Copies of this chain bind each other. A is one copy, B any other.
Amino acid sequence: MGQQPFRVVDDGSITSPKGFSAGGLHCGLKKTTRHDLGAILCEVPAAAAGVYTTNIFQAAPLKVTRESIASDGLLRAVLVNSGNANACTGEQGEADAYEMRSRFAEAIGVEAAQVAVASTGVIGENLKMEKVRSGIDSLPQKLTGDLDGAEAFCQAILTTDLVQKMVCVQLELNGKIVHVAGAAKGSGMIHPNMATMLGFVTTDAAIDSAYLQQLLREATDLSFNMITVDGDTSTNDMLVAMASGLAGNEALTPEHEGKEAFAAALRYVCEVLAKAIARDGEGATKLVEVQVRGAVSDESAQAIAKTVIGSSLVKSAVFGADANWGRIIAAVGRAGQPVNPDTVDIALGDIVTLQGSRPVAFDEDAALEYLKGDTVVIHVDLHMAEGTAKAWGCDLTYDYVRINAAYRT
């Protein structure tokens, strides 16, 4: 990270950027006592941007959040519940999402259109609104500008996740310290197109909504859209960014000399969160990273990387610490991309297993040792041109099957 134009803030959080507070509580949507309702609040109207699931079935809160951001590009807060996705819930679900927005807006004294809402959990059931209402009424007094508030929020957005996911970096723009931070949830149904994940980015940079939207989309394509757990996508994904502008930098524009540094910081935040989601994939025991190089283009490399990371056979082999390059090359060959069948190299970490598409002798014990680690990097070099890509996923395990064999029960 030494070369990067930003530094990671230890103990930094989504409340580190100036102007933000956060918090969470248990209102009763989850059967456990874990938090299930949370919010991030900005003390000034923040420039906002959003990226949403591509699934045709979009949950009610997505419609409401789109409307809020579209109204004037500004948000004061985002309200999130877990335990119930408010998806496939028809007119009642839509009414409930609007009521969440207006009730929380009233509780914090802002316009309804300045609040975004998000939901995650079981679909097809209407929200228990009496619990949500009572939670909303108590929530404002729970919001704090410290790490505790941020962590309470992080807990409130989890479903089958095992760990909280948060990161914060800082950089200098026009002599001012600017923070970029993020929190996310997600562990199943994660695939290129933003599947059951929620992500929230806060920054105190000055930047307008339109430019923030552009940078957020670019960062998403190289991070959240390059992870997969099982190829499924959800009805509820969304990534929302809010920029308070309180750092005092000159507003970021495509002409600002610091724009590359800010974009890099934003990409880094998104990549850290995306990798954390992949590592925490349902039942996962390790993070798998696929690095493709030598493809005819970056897009082609991305398609190949996603096919390899999405292969159930590759994922099972990694779980079993089996150095099965045959599964990898079979996935490369079905990605629908230009590949020279005679020039492919494959390595697991530093261990070369295939060169020029032919198996080479390797130390099986060393490979086993490497594959037993908590991070496995699969390198694929096509030796055709300069296209590169990275994608992230996890292994396929007994626990994945167990978790999803009885999700509703």
Contact = CB atoms under 8 A, between A and B. Distances in A.
Contact of A316 (B56, B195, B323, B401): B401
Interface residues of A, number: 62
A244 interface: no
Contact of A330 (B55, B311, B330, B334): B55
B56 A341 contact: yes
Interface stretch (A10-18, A168-176, A229-237, A247-255): A229-237
A232 B309 CA distance: 12
A407 B322 contact: yes
Residue among A57, A123, A189 with the highest chain B CB neighbour number at 10 A = A57
Nearest to A327: B232
Contact of A88 (B55, B234, B323, B358): B358
A71 to B, nearest CB: 23
Contact of A406 (B191, B195, B322): B322
Interface in A177-222: 188-189, 191, 193, 195
Nearest to A233: B334
A146 B385 CA distance: 56
Interface in A306-357: 310-313, 316-317, 319-320, 322-327, 329-334, 339, 341, 354, 357
Interface of A: 54-58, 87-88, 90, 122-125, 188-189, 191, 193, 195, 230-235, 310-313, 316-317, 319-320, 322-327, 329-334, 339, 341, 354, 357-359, 396-398, 400-409
> Which 9 residue pairs across A and B have the least CB separation, nearest first?
A320-B405, A316-B404, A57-B333, A56-B333, A230-B312, A55-B333, A123-B326, A124-B359, A233-B334
